[in-house]
């Protein structure tokens, strides 16, 4: 009975040591278990780290907080979601042969029907239809030409050769 009890105590101590050796105990800072590798580590208060391509994290006293590194990317019709060709973590949108960058606008041309990537701050002409620009809110376009809803008496609209917009031509 004595030897059984001694073996039980020795086994219990061995299990306790193994449990302590396997677990990370942080005396200060944060204990963090990686979502990508499953490894547990101690982090100092104020320390920042990346958890693979998934999260950016920070230790705040005894707690940690993380934010996702990449936005959810969806591609408009005519474009596709692809891996970053430069090896970055985040997915990119590809329209035609162009990879759209962060903050770029995706725009379907009214004159060609093709999807395009446009850089923030870029201005472009969509055929004879619109003048457009890409900004932080997305893309905005304005009609290039006036629409003549009422043509004055004695006038008509004509489109001069090589011009986009109709003009009024009035007889005297």
Residues 33-45 have pLDDT tens digits of 999 899 999 999 9
Mean pLDDT of 18-37: 68
Write down the pLDDT at residue 24.
52
Output phi, psi for 77, to 5 deg. Answer: -55, 135
- 10 pLDDT higher than 80: no
Residue range 129-144, pLDDT digits in tens: 899 999 888 899 999 9
Contact 105/134 with Cβ under 8 angstroms? yes
List C-alpha distances in Å: 125 to 2, 35, 74, 110, 111. Answer: 93, 47, 26, 11, 10
39 SS3 class: coil
Q: CA triplet 116, 118, 122: central angle to 5 degrees? A: 145
The residue-averaged pLDDT of 137-160 equals: 90
Tokens for 18, please give them.
Answer: 């193994």
Averaged pLDDT score across all residues of the chain: 81
Q: Please say if the pLDDT value at position 11 is more than 80.
A: no
CA 92 to chain CA mean position, Å: 7
DSSP 8-state secondary structure symbol assigned to residue 112: T
pLDDT over threshold 70, residue 32:
yes
Task: Tell me the pTM.
Answer: 0.52
- The whole-number average pLDDT for the span 54-79 is 88
The residue among 138, 144, 86, 137 whose CA lies nearest residue 117 is 138
Q: Rounded CA gap, 33 and 45, in Å?
A: 16
- Token pair recorded at residue 155: 């006038």
List the structure tokens of 73.
């990317």
């Amino acid at each position: 009975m004595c030897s059984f009890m001694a073996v039980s105590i020795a086994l219990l101590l061995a299990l306790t040591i193994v449990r302590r050796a396997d677990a990370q105990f942080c005396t200060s800072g944060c204990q963090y278990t990686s979502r990508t590798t499953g490894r547990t580590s101690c982090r100092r208060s104020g320390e920042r780290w990346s958890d693979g391509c998934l999260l950016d994290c920070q230790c705040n006293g005894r707690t940690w907080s993380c934010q996702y590194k990449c936005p959810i990317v969806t591609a408009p019709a005519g474009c596709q979601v692809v891996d970053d060709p430069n090896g970055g973590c985040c997915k990119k949108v590809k329209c035609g042969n162009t990879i759209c960058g962060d903050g770029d606008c995706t725009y379907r041309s009214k004159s060609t029907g093709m999807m395009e990537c446009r850089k923030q701050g870029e201005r472009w002409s969509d055929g004879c239809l619109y003048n457009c620009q890409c900004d932080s809110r997305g893309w905005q376009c304005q009609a290039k030409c006036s629409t003549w809803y009422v043509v004055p008496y004695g006038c008509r609209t004509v489109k001069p050769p090589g011009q986009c917009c109709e003009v009024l031509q009035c007889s005297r």
